[in-house]
Amino acid sequence: MPKKTRGCLQGGVGAKLCEHCKDHEQLWIFYAVVLAILTLIVFFDTGTNFASEHVRIWCQGFPIYTEWAALGALLLVAPFASIVHCMQLSQAKTRVLVTSFFSVLGIVCIGLAALNLRQTYLTMAELRKDCGKAGLTKEIEAVWQRADDIYTECDRARQKPLFKCPNLHLDKWKPADRALLEYLEETESDFHCSAFCQKDQQPLFLRQKKISKNGCAWHVGGRVALAGRAASVVAGSMGLFFFAIGLIAAFLPNL
């Protein structure tokens, strides 16, 4: 019958891992706390972003993947520490392995944060500076212009809802264009704006008088920027954290 030492069975990999946890109890508690906090942040932030159709359409999930990658990197720390402990390498080899591991994790997380931030600013530029010139913004602007012309012809005072205009003929619209028209309705509702790329236009769906002077694309760009920056902050912070651990491990006297 194997003997127990400080609550751990002697012999085997399980015993080594148990002893490792006992010897570094405070470190593992710190790791668990950091993991729990980051998990809550990622779940809250990605849940908010996933619920936003604007982020899903324009960012294509990039901020969400960036934050989950940072969380995944943190999850790798526990098995790595256990494997290194079981390998029982020399102090010099352990130092090199630990330094390399955390440095690589740090570089990967910082790189993802930088890529996400770059993509965020490119998308924001497409929405705010180059709106209507190419891509999806051009398609949305064309749909808005078509609907605006129909609405003006139907009811210049815009007293009746757009969808009640007899000349709208939604059944003749392409499914993609109908989807974009619905998206325009959502942007007006979410940001209390009008048009998409153009400024100072009459809304297609809202009936309230106080609306933003900027086109809806400007506000969508702000929402995209908020999501992208938040994801980059999470991933970048984790990257710096890992990189700092790698530097500490490189110069720690008794690793």
27-49 per-position pLDDT tens digit: 666 667 777 777 777 667 666 65
Read off the pLDDT band of 7 (50, 70, 90).
Answer: very low
127 is written with which tokens? Answer: 């929405």
Is residue 187 scored above 50 in pLDDT?
yes
Q: What residues contact 123, with CB distance under 8 A and at least 6 apart?
A: 58, 59, 221, 224, 228
57-83 per-position pLDDT tens digit: 888 777 878 888 888 888 888 788 777
Q: What is the pTM of this model?
A: 0.76
Q: What is the pLDDT of residue 9?
A: 41
Q: Which of 84 and 121 is assigned the larger pLDDT?
A: 121
User: DSSP alpha helices (H): ranges in 11-170?
Assistant: 12-23, 25-51, 53-59, 62-75, 77-87, 91-128, 135-154
Contact 49/55 with Cβ under 8 angstroms?
Answer: yes
Q: Which of 54 and 143 is assigned the larger pLDDT?
A: 143
Is residue 107 scored above 50 in pLDDT?
yes
| b/e burial code for range 170-203 (CB count within 10 A of at least 16 → b) | eeebeeebeebbebbbebbeebebbbbbbeebeb
Q: What is the pLDDT of residue 45?
A: 62
Would you say the C-alpha torsion 190, 129, 200, 198 has a positive or negative sign?
A: negative
Is residue 171 scored above 70 in pLDDT?
yes
Q: What residues contact 111, with CB distance under 8 A and at least 6 apart?
A: 239
120-164 per-position pLDDT tens digit: 999 999 999 999 998 899 999 999 999 999 999 998 888 888 989
Contact 228/120 with Cβ under 8 angstroms?
Answer: yes
